[in-house]
Structure 1
């Protein structure tokens, strides 16, 4: 009987279809839903990026091929690549542009390591469990809240050329009257240094907060294990702190680089209201705005912004390749 039953059951087993695999379609459906949700959540940011960055940049590219003058009764005429050719071959245009580009590169080369290092130092000092530590963190972050124009006005009073300038008055008192009035903003040797100092003072608190958040993500067990291994402060900093915030440090350096290339407000305010040396402190953004609204040459200003945008993109990509975090491919 068992033999007959087994013989009858065998064909039925062969005729039965294998069970359906529901795992992969379910995972694929969840993945599609997650992708759709991600697109919906990022849609406002993408729309804002396209509307306020993509469209203006595309319009600037179009204007760079035309001779457009503000207030001119003549219609814009097509120039082709003439604006770009003049930007690099005409001495009246290439000289100020290349000087502004050199000032931008100098500003970025000094501000990025200086501001990042100072922000890291402040973040380490403020990463402590002390009474009223929030007050100290707020004090260091407070300059970030101030608009850059207000910061420029404050530093204009500090670096004023006359004896009433705060820095000159302090140096005059410390030197017992031997220090004379020095033109910090008008002197070629100190004009860019003055802009760098006020920019670092205003922006270091923002990078400090980001690095402080990264430091607080490092587990305390790592520091305890390092102390058990008798590691000194420098060894703990090198082998625990730096690896723990490497990704955050790279992000801060890249953010500071981008912000340093778009420096404009403090330069404009100090040149037009503080006697800042224009040739020693002009930047590419300042050159573009001056060309557009002081010289009424919209086409040339658009060409300046397009070239500068491409330079910044190339430098950002190179920096991204060089300082890529270890956890990225």
Structure 2
């Protein structure tokens, strides 16, 4: 009896008891933060080493006359490299035009063709899985291997000229597709669309499969035909997917490099040179590091501006 009376309430006997729980929670939260930082650290370190630092170095080098191998130290030249690009380098202007032409053709054609293919393989029919795999095979194939194969196909005695000669009953005269300035860039455009359209077909397909089937049933009950269903149900439901696809295709099109490097080396007569290829050629092969960095910075600003404009034009109006 005496013991129970002297014990008193738990808080009076042990005044630090209520404070232990918040302290434990704080300690657990700090430990969780430490674990999270430790898990993020490797990726953050790689990001800083291979993205942030190179971008900062390229920004600094673009205002110098640095060369890849030179006994003379780099010298600050201000905006001379940028003035040279737009005034004193006709190859840069040609590469800028070629890059825009490539993007203007590839972006709508690749996006539209991918959408058509996605609608076709989204049908509940037998064999659609097979066609999905067939359309996606070029995507998982190395672009270098694809470019080498298509380079052989574009030769005067290649399979493309042989096929055209067959269907025209021998009246076709073979064309050296990659050696003709008027056909070299269109030939690379066809290759690029064929190689990457399967990837965007899969993205369109994933967007199609997020649209509820009930919406189509309601549209059919209202008497809507296939075109009305696509216009009023499918296309509005694909708006977020459309924004993503336009941005990704545009960035990939503006960054065209591998096909040019493998197939044409920018020729003939600079008819296929692009901004990225021109920057690599000037910066590494001709060892004009400062000028190559300036072209890369121009390319970065160009891609950023186009992506922001696309995002503004495709934003939700509400």
Match of 2:53 among 52, 55, 70: 55
Q: Which TM-score applies when normalising by structure 2?
A: 0.84
Residue 136 of structure 1, CA deviation: 1.4
Q: Distance in 2 between matches of 1:323 and 1:263?
A: 24
* Aligned with residue 67 of structure 2, among 63, 66, 69: 69
1:247 aligns with 2:245: no
Select 2:81's aligned residue among 50, 59, 83.
Answer: 83
Structure 1 residues 156 and 200: CA distance shift in structure 2, 3 A: same
TM-score, normalisation: structure 1: 0.82
What are the superposed Cα offsets for residues 163-198 of structure 1, whole Å, 9 maximum, x if unpaired?
Answer: x21111111122222111112112122111111110
Q: Shift in Å at residue 68 of structure 1?
A: 1.4
Distance in 2 separating the partners of 1:62 and 1:199: 33
Relative to structure 1, the CA distance from residue 51 to residue 71 in structure 2 (aligned partners, 3 Å threshold; closer, same or farther) is closer
1:191 aligns with 2:189: no
CA distance in 1, matches of 2:316, 2:48: 28
- 2:3 matched to which residue of 1? none
Cα distance in 2 for partners of 1:110, 1:281 equals 14
Deviation at 1:134, TM superposition (A): 1.9
SS in 1 for 2:179: coil
Residue 9 (structure 2) aligns with: none
Over aligned residues, Cα RMSD in angstroms?
A: 2.3
The aligned length equals 287
Matches within 5 A, 1:192-271: 192-271=185-264
* 1:97 aligned residue: 92
Worse overlay, 317-326 or 116-125: 317-326
Q: Assess, with a 3 A threshold, how the Cα gap between structure 1 residues 271 and 217 changes in structure 2: closer, same or farther.
A: same
* Partner SS state of residue 187, structure 1: coil
Distance in 1, Cα, partners of 2:206 & 2:41: 27
Q: Which runs of 5+ in 2 are unaligned?
A: 1-25
In the alignment, the residues of structure 1 paired with residue 303 and residue 46 of structure 2 have an alpha-carbon distance, to the nearest angstrom, of 21
Pairing of 1:165-176 with structure 2 (within 5 A): 165-176=158-169
Contact 2:181–2:269 (CA under 8 A) maintained in structure 1: no
Q: Partner of 2:303 in structure 1?
A: 312
Decide which of 271, 288, 291 is 2:279's aligned counterpart: 288
Q: Which runs of 5+ in 1 are unaligned?
A: 1-28
Q: Does the 8 A contact of 1:104 with 1:261 survive in 2? A: yes
Q: What is the aligned partner in structure 2 of residue 324 from structure 1? A: 315
Distance (whole Å) between structure 1 residues aligned to residue 248 and residue 49 of structure 2: 22
Q: Residues 242 and 42 from structure 1, CA distance in 2 versus in 1: closer, same or farther, beyond 3 angstroms?
A: farther
